[in-house]
Amino acid sequence: MTRMELVTSLDEIGAQMARILSSKDFDASDRNRRFLEYVVQEAMAGRADRIKAYSIATTVFGRNEDFDPQQDAIVRIEAGRMRRSLDRYYLTSGRNDAVRISIPVGAYVPIFLRHCAPAAGSATSVGGILSEQGTGNKAVHRPTIHVCGFVPEGAAPGLADLAASVTRRVIAALARFTDLSVVGPDHPEEAVDFVLSGSVAAADGKVVAESLLRETAHGHYIWSDFFECGSLSDDCVAQRIAIADRIVVAVGQPSGVLISYLAQEAPNSGSAASRSFESVLQFHSSWRSFDPGQYDRVRQALERTIQRDPHYAEAFACLSQLYSNAIRFNYIGVASDHHRLQPAISLARQAVHLSPGSSRSYLALGIALWFDGQVENALAALRKSRELNPNDMEVIAELGLRHCLRADWDEGVPLIEEAYRRNQALPATHRIGLSMWHCHLGRYDQALVEARNMDMPDVIYPWVMIAVSAHRLGRFREAKSALGSILALCPDYGDLVAADLQSRNVHPELALMLIRGLRDAGLACPSASLSPIPSHRTQARIAMQPWVKEPVPAPQRL
């Protein structure tokens, strides 16, 4: 199996860029060739943090200084075209190139990777993140979902091919969710937990897709979907993607119908394998409720699981995320428990080691690194997570939130909006990014709506946005009530707010806006809080060094 490692040699990167630009198979337009040259040269010069939609638009595409990426999507559109041109190059004349230049979706900073032959027990480094080929999950019960072949209803030309194509894509996409075990149409229906079936038909010039999910223990249907998506004369690939991804998003992700059903209905069988999986279900349930009272119960269950099943990557990832969440949401009695941050990082690294193809492992790693101040490495981990499973809306929303906290609105806002558009059951925590965006633009009424929708009474940050936005709108009683909730959760928050926002890597100007808003609303903040806030720590992407592999702490000491 081929492994990848980060390329840091400027000579190699420059030579590869020249090779691409001179190839007839790189079919990009002249301005997209300038686009590629610009972002690669900026990254090589150590200025990756300056590669934004605004700088690209004004430097490459000749836009004026009043360019607004929210109103003009040229950079996002051309970035998509350039990615397709790069993909074509690497599928043709560049298929044997040792160095690969790519522009991850949702970002404009290039990543430089080298194909390497694997060595026994060797490490894999992607985007600055070091992992090792691991053994994956062993002897842990995971729900098995049987994907039946989607049935073409009717004899319209192309319908049978579309049905078969949808079946293949659903199987491939569900298999990316490592909490699930997926089998295809040829597998016997016995000894599976769920059966997913469906059909495609042509009616009134439209393609109509229907899908059903049945649990096999009692034969109950627990989910169904029915929608239209264009006509048979349209692009078959686009239709296949639309149908399959809609099904996969609804069924497969942790906030989807299948895991939610298991969390509510699955009995505690008493077997060790089932108890291990149930501890992961407990984590996903607690993540949706934001109840700090569940913290100790879920933590103890996961700690027992990793002792019992030391190869269960999902349990390591969930425990890492739980430790990070205790700091992230200032759980009462746990807020000062920052000594759990290093175990959170180690647990996430172990999850990546055990299951390097798991999106959830990289999600946990990205969150832990963010709170350790390793901003660029955290974003690299989250991008890798999204690459591994582009249908996990929690990952997309998390990446979008991190960009919003950095005030990278053109990167972050579309990701969060996409996540909530595709999965309305997604936990509301990521809406804080949208609330901050509206507040930044002076749209305080919309900022207030997003903050209210979060419904997280035990977390300070929705109350912060309510206090600031309500006061700006002249709703002084609501602002005062929100301040009361803030002080009930943290009586000294006025003294701590600047350090708190800095520890969360909030952009200095954004943090200053929030502090001023809180002070205007009546929160007692020291004058020093209104001084310029130092920027968070960052690391240039080119300069990122692979981590030295550290041993994971023994479970009994976590």
Regarding predicted confidence, which is higher, 557 or 278? Answer: 278
Tens digit of each residue's pLDDT (9 = 90 or more) over 384-400: 999 999 999 999 999 99
Torsion of CA 494, 498, 501, 502, to 10 degrees: -160
pLDDT on residue 18: 92
pLDDT on residue 190: 67
Q: How far apart are CA 370 and CA 555, in angstroms?
A: 23
Task: Please check whether residue 242 is in contact with residue 381, taking contact to mean a CB–CB distance below 8 angstroms.
Answer: no
Torsion of CA 301, 175, 423, 245, to 10 degrees: 180
Strands 123-126 and 3-6: unpaired
DSSP 130-185: EEE------S----EEEEPPPEEES--TTHHHHHHHHHHHHHHHHTT-TT-EEE-T
DSSP category for residue 491:
T
Dihedral sign computed on CA atoms, order 250, 255, 257, 259? positive
Q: What is the pTM of this model?
A: 0.68
DSSP category for residue 553:
P
pLDDT on residue 362: 94
- Range with top average pLDDT, 119-128, 190-199, 286-295: 190-199
Task: Please check whether residue 343 is in contact with residue 553, taking contact to mean a CB–CB distance below 8 angstroms.
Answer: yes
Residue 474 reports pLDDT greater than 60: yes
Residue 96 reports pLDDT greater than 90: no
DSSP category for residue 557:
G
Residue 404 reports pLDDT greater than 50: yes
- C-alpha count within 13 angstroms, C-beta hemisphere, residue 418: 23
Q: Name the band, by pLDDT with cuts 50, 70 and 90, for residue 549.
A: very low
pLDDT on residue 236: 64
pLDDT on residue 3: 45
* pLDDT over 70, % of the chain: 82
Q: Name the band, by pLDDT with cuts 50, 70 and 90, for residue 124.
A: very low
pLDDT on residue 545: 27
Least confident interval from 135-144, 176-185, 228-237: 135-144
Regarding predicted confidence, which is higher, 135 or 223? Answer: 223
Beta bridge partners of 113: 6, 100
Q: Name the band, by pLDDT with cuts 50, 70 and 90, for residue 290.
A: low
Least confident interval from 185-199, 224-238, 393-407, 481-495: 224-238
Secondary structure (3-state) at 421: helix
Q: Name the band, by pLDDT with cuts 50, 70 and 90, for residue 335.
A: very low
Task: Please check whether residue 143 is in contact with residue 220, taking contact to mean a CB–CB distance below 8 angstroms.
Answer: no
pLDDT on residue 274: 65
Tens digit of each residue's pLDDT (9 = 90 or more) over 150-192: 898 887 777 888 888 889 999 999 988 888 889 888 777 667 8
Radius of gyration of the chain (CA): 24
Q: How far apart are CA 236 and CA 289, in angstroms?
A: 40
CA distances from 393 to 316, 336, 446, 542, 553 (A): 21, 30, 23, 28, 31
Per the structure block, which two tokens stand in for 290? 């934001």
* pLDDT over 90, % of the chain: 37
Tens digit of each residue's pLDDT (9 = 90 or more) over 351-386: 988 888 899 999 999 999 998 888 999 999 999 999
Per the structure block, which two tokens stand in for 361? 């492992």
pLDDT on residue 19: 93
Q: How far apart are CA 359 and CA 370, in angstroms?
A: 17
pLDDT on residue 526: 82
Q: How far apart are CA 370 and CA 201, in angstroms?
A: 46
Tens digit of each residue's pLDDT (9 = 90 or more) over 242-256: 888 899 998 988 878
Please report, in angstroms and rounded to a whole number, the separation of the first and last CA atoms in the chain: 33
pLDDT averaged over every residue in the chain:
81
pLDDT on residue 94: 87
Per the structure block, which two tokens stand in for 366? 């990205």
Residue 133 reports pLDDT greater than 80: no
Per the structure block, which two tokens stand in for 470? 């309500």
Least confident interval from 1-5, 158-162, 514-518: 1-5
Per the structure block, which two tokens stand in for 360? 């959830």
